[in-house]
Chain A
Amino acid sequence: MTLESAVDITFTPKNGAEKTARQILEFTRIYLAFGDDAPIERELACLCAQYPAVLLPPQPEDRFVGRVLHAPVGFSPQMGSGFGYYLKEEEFVALLREPELSDELRSRLTVLLDFWRENHTAAKTRRAYSGELAKLLPSDNWNFESGIAFPLYRMAGSTLDYAKLIRLGIGGLRRELEEHMQRKPAGAALYRALVGSIDLLAEVCLWYAEKAQQSDLPADVRAELVRCLLHISEKPPETLHQGLQLCWLYALLSGNANYGRFDRTFVELYAADKAAGLSEESVVALLSSLWRLMAERENGVWMFDSRVIIGGKGRANEAVADRLALLCIEATRRTRLVMPQLSLRFYKGQNPLLYQRALDCISSNNPYPILYNDDVNIPAVAAAFDVSEDEATNYVPFGCGEYVLEHKSFGTPSGVINLLQALLVTLNHGIDPTRRIPMGIPADELPIIDSFESLWDAYRRQVERHVEVLAEQEALEYRIAGQTAPFLYLTLLMDDCLERGKAVFDGGLRYLGGTLETYGNSNTADSLTAIRKLVFQEKRFSLAQLRQMLDANFVGFGRERRLLVQAPKYGNDLDEADEMLVSVDRHVFTVTRNQAQRVGLDSYLVVVINNNANTVMGRYTAASPDGRLAFTPMNNGNAPSSGADTDGITAFLNSIVKPPVSLHAGAVQNIKLSRELFTRNRREVDQLLEVYWEMGGAQAMLNVVSRNELEEALVHPEKYANLIVRVGGYSARFIDLAPDIQQEILARTLY
């Protein structure tokens, strides 16, 4: 069967599976109708095929419309296989197994699956790798294979100018585009498509107005929603409800899942509502409903994103914005959901109530808000990104904690590097100790390791070579993105694109930056400290003997392992260990930062973030010289290795402020505090944190739990359905986590 005959859509779907099948066929048919030489028109046509087809009607408790479940094939900045034209392969395969599907449709879909496996944008990116890239990035399977470096395929972490959307409304945006079109005929094709995307958004508003009308929502909610949708389909929103509704629909259509500086964006609408007498209780109800939609978006798939930022410097009408921020905290306290990832920016001089309420919320079994110290972050971001402090004022953390400048910059993490694996491969002369295959730089290209200095040198070269190819990969990925599609909805609300008449990844955006996720930083540093002390200084055993112990996963070497475990560890305020971590960090931060210009990016920075990759990559990482057993978790974010911080929380805090903050784009700090401490000694906890911030603490994700609670939850999960824990750069219900991730959380020091 040819592809062309497979995409015939002249049939009426008889059930859900056939409906999805028809969506895929339709989408593919449209995609095929345009060649690679018409990426702008192709995207618009594909978006029109996708929306409102994948949108879902409101549910009874909703105060807003806007639910979505993307099809197995579609277009998005971040979905399934990657970005652009994506494939959700598992869902596609599941669809093929649907008994409801006719055999004829099944065989047609099979042809399409083969097509999309080859043609989704990430696959095209991989095919574009040069020899060197393919050699050092041989696999994409970071989550189930050992390796030093892996690419990631996504255009993650867009932040959009929602304030502009609110100010202009759909009609105003359309007019602005028309003006641009007249001034810059060269960009006409793009502007035309952008107008088309705006028209589609308006159409979706009207489509939802109809759905709302037909829904069994309560009569008053229904009436308000219909009014709201008709209004925003053309005019700028005038109430908070209208503003939130418009931005929410925009977020769904654009694939944007980090909602930016929320109180700053919505302050004017809130002020107007407030003046008109809208009660705070009503606002909390609205926000709570929106929070639920965020949490349930795409069946909860956005738990690594969904940032809502409140507080911080650079907010107009600050007193009113503060009120709105407090209501956001209240909505989070009440809903107790894993999303949105509410994040509070604060600075000396900000209304202290925000910070206090944040801590109160955290103490009520809630990992939010995440705390960000502007006094440290703004100068750090200015230095790291090489922008003015004024621009840095609009830094926002997205995803698991990567910083970008709100709607001015992009910084998708498109690579991961496992520093510990880099060290282990180096120690093993270019052999991966997990799979016993050659990996990384061949040993004959590395210095002979006969001293600590030569080991450090070889490790650095191993890391540097991988960082270089990862930077090239990042630039390549943006290039492919730019060639593939204009990403219309991102282009429309990101800075400079309209003025330049260029698409976001095709020269439009002000700052195109990239980020690199590093893992195992602390284990690597602790391993190096242990090697320096025991092998080279005290000569307790040789490197060859150390390799033997690691190969044996310390079986039969319990005594030696104890020596390794007892060697100084990062996180105890011990200079010997902490300085090593600083060296490891500074090295990879600097090498990474130095790549930007070479590969043509505005910035390329490390992020020491963490989803659960420390645990997942740990599963494929052999035993390490810090005494860590094979295939167990590595350290989390900027934290010490699990349980290595034994000298108390002040020592821990003193240590974690040592790594440099001005050379990267975000580092996360999980701090697990016991409920007993937090409730009985709240004053001292407040003072402790104050010192942390004053010492240069940039960020903290506080999780207040009791050990007993976590242990009980393992035995009686049914009783702890609401126990939310901070995993890394995201939160989850403890009982939903994989067993090794649960154990990793348990093993973290509880202060």
Chain B
Amino acid sequence: MKILVCVSKTPDTTARIAFKDSNTVFDSNGVQFIMNPYDEWYALVRAVELVEAGGGSVTLINVGREDNDTILRKGLAIGADDAVRIDAEADSAFFVASQIAAYAKEQSFDLVLLGKETIDYNGSEVGSMLAQLLDMPFVSHASDMQVSGSEATISREIEGGTEVLSAALPLVVSAAKGLAEQRIPNMKGIMGAKRKPLAVIPPVAVAGRTQTVAFSVPEAKGAVRMIDPDNMEELVRLLHEESKVI
């Protein structure tokens, strides 16, 4: 089975979030970046597990500049066989999906896996766009996936229970928690990754359809205010007049 795993680079979960240029650009100064955990822990690891069990290959793909090679090397250290970087700024979901689709169309993958969302923009857009552009079925938020022959059985966590779906390959699946368990690469894997192929290819021409106008950070949480238990009237007044929740 030939599997394509789409990976993104995101700020570390502990990074301080700030913007520059009149709040239109994310300020990456001093920010440490990681591979998007949904891509790494679930999509990539499940892909590697499927290939370990049934043979095939795992290809990683990322749209980004040279500094993204670190996350691709990490993915290779975890167990992917080769990697492709489309050398362009990933400035919108549509642009990214279009670039990956243009590459994937030439390669006939059986399965395209990616995280259900990135932990920075939380857009959840690329998976469905990819499925549309590749004319493949799409199952989102997979928490379990078994593949038998040319059919996949996929579980999704839904309100109050689990939904089980089946779909024919080729297929696009977005990964949620539970699909696999995080694998920490070991030093041999890291050294082996240096010898695996990482191809850099130019982007195809795609016109952007959206443009970021501005970002804003949420207002800082106010300090906790203690109300005297004997003064319930004051609590009601604050909830009504200041918080406006009652």
Partners in one complex: no
Task: List chain A positions with a Cβ less than 8 A from chain B.
Answer: none
